[in-house]
């Protein structure tokens, strides 16, 4: 969900999880200790865990929504978080407080939606981040669960990094190169790093379900295992992507001599449903479908674990690495 999403400077792999030999069930689950969870029970968003973002700036991607704090756009209902996008003109503050200019002007957009963050409340360095979610389909939808640095220790984006666990772009829209005859059925995971734009870098991958079904048809579980110099991504228990410190970098002078930077700092988590934006509108059927809204991104739960015996590096709980089992 980052700025300048189209500046892909590193190659992208297309990987189907059916081809992965690694099973999430084998990754030392007994050593992962639950340290934070959100089950989305009751009827109200837990404000001790989440801050809704209120902004209309379009995320730096020319997205078309205003994020609001209305129950119309952010609901906890039926045991799930529901981020709901509507087609309606709305006027609100341009940018969220942490990047706002003064005075922060108002901006009008043609859609509303929801975005929640743990910014200023909770963040984690290394661990297992897991959630069960059902993304929406439709040309112009862009749901995401992703992580950003809590402190920008290496400088502003992307020098301090970005971790995109799930991005579902235009699911169900036309996709001649996709298998399964259901349209766009690929989901994106990505890391952003490097130097300030236009020298920023991204490494990303696309993943499909073994059946090539639409991920919007049902709930699925995404998992990120993150240790010092190592990240592993899973979908429904099967590993589809692995990255090491050789796959990323930071151009920050503060990162000199530190090969694991910038992904060695606490990151917070967020979830949102964007409408439009360059990545969405430039692909598949192009633009935003007239009937795309209302659209709903449902999240059943989000759970954060840390390695009980290795909080410092997180590697002891990751099978197949030195110190792991």
Per cent of the chain over pLDDT 90 is 89
- Give a yes or no: residue 22 inside a domain: yes
Predicted confidence at residue 214, as pLDDT, reads 98
- Give a yes or no: residue 8 inside a domain: no
- Give a yes or no: residue 312 inside a domain: no
Residue 219, classified by CB atoms within 10 Å of its CB into exposed (0-12), middle (13-18) or buried (19+), is middle
- Give a yes or no: residue 101 inside a domain: no
Predicted confidence at residue 1, as pLDDT, reads 72
- Give a yes or no: residue 262 inside a domain: yes
The one catalytic residue among 38, 53, 63, 167: 167
Overall residue count recorded for the chain in this entry: 325
Q: Can you tell me the mean pLDDT for 176-188?
A: 97
CA torsion sign for 164, 168, 170, 173 is positive
* CB neighbour burial string for 240-265, b if at least 16 within 10 angstroms, e if fewer: bbebebeebbbbbeebeeeebbbbbb
Predicted confidence at residue 319, as pLDDT, reads 79
Tokens (6 digits) for 106: 């108002």
In 10 A of CB 323, how many CB atoms?
A: 15
167 in active site: yes
Contacts of 257 (CB under 8 A, 6+ apart): none
What is the overall mean pLDDT for the chain?
92
State the residue range of the domain holding 210.
Answer: 13-36+117-293+300-307
- Give a yes or no: residue 56 inside a domain: no
- Give a yes or no: residue 220 inside a domain: yes
Q: What is the CATH number for 266?
A: 2.60.120.200
The one catalytic residue among 53, 130, 162, 184: 162
Q: How many domains does one find in the chain?
A: 1
Predicted confidence at residue 323, as pLDDT, reads 52
- Give a yes or no: residue 207 inside a domain: yes
184 in active site: no
68: pLDDT strictly greater than 80:
yes
Stretch among 33-37, 231-235, 316-320 having the lowest mean pLDDT = 316-320
Q: Determine the distance from the C-alpha atom of residue 16 to the mean position of all C-alpha atoms in its chain, rounded to a whole number.
A: 19
pLDDT digits (tens, 9 = 90+) for 6-46: 333 344 444 444 433 333 333 455 699 999 999 999 999 99
């Amino acid at each position: 969900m980052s700025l300048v999403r189209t500046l892909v400077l590193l190659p992208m792999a297309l990987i189907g999880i059916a081809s992965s030999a690694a099973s999430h069930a084998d990754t030392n689950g007994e050593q992962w200790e639950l340290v934070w969870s959100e089950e989305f029970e009751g009827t109200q968003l837990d404000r001790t865990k989440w801050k809704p973002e209120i902004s209309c700036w379009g995320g730096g991607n020319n997205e078309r929504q205003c994020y609001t704090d209305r129950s119309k756009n952010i609901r906890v209902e039926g045991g799930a978080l529901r981020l709901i996008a509507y087609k309606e003109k709305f006027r609100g503050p341009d940018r969220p407080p942490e990047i706002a200019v003064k005075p922060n002007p108002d901006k009008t957009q043609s859609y509303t939606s929801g975005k929640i963050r743990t910014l200023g409340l909770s963040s984690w360095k290394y661990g297992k981040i897991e959630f069960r979610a059902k993304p929406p389909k439709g040309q112009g939808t862009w749901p995401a669960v992703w992580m950003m640095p809590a402190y920008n220790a290496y400088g502003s984006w992307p020098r301090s990094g970005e971790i995109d666990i799930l991005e579902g772009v235009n699911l169900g829209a036309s996709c001649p190169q996709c298998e399964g005859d259901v349209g766009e059925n690929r989901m994106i995971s990505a890391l952003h790093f490097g130097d300030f734009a236009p020298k920023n870098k991204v490494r990303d991958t696309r993943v499909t379900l073994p059946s090539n079904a639409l991920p919007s048809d049902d709930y699925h579980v995404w998992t990120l295992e993150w240790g010092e110099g190592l990240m592993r991504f899973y979908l429904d228990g099967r590993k589809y992507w692995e990255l090491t410190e050789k796959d990323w970098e930071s151009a920050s002078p503060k990162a000199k001599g530190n090969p694991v930077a910038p992904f060695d700092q606490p990151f917070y988590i967020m979830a949102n449903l964007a409408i439009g934006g360059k990545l969405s509108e430039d692909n598949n059927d192009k633009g935003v479908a007239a009937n795309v809204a209302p659209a709903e991104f449902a999240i059943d739960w989000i759970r954060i674990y840390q390695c009980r015996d290795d909080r410092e590096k997180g590697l002891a709980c990751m099978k197949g690495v030195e110190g792991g089992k």
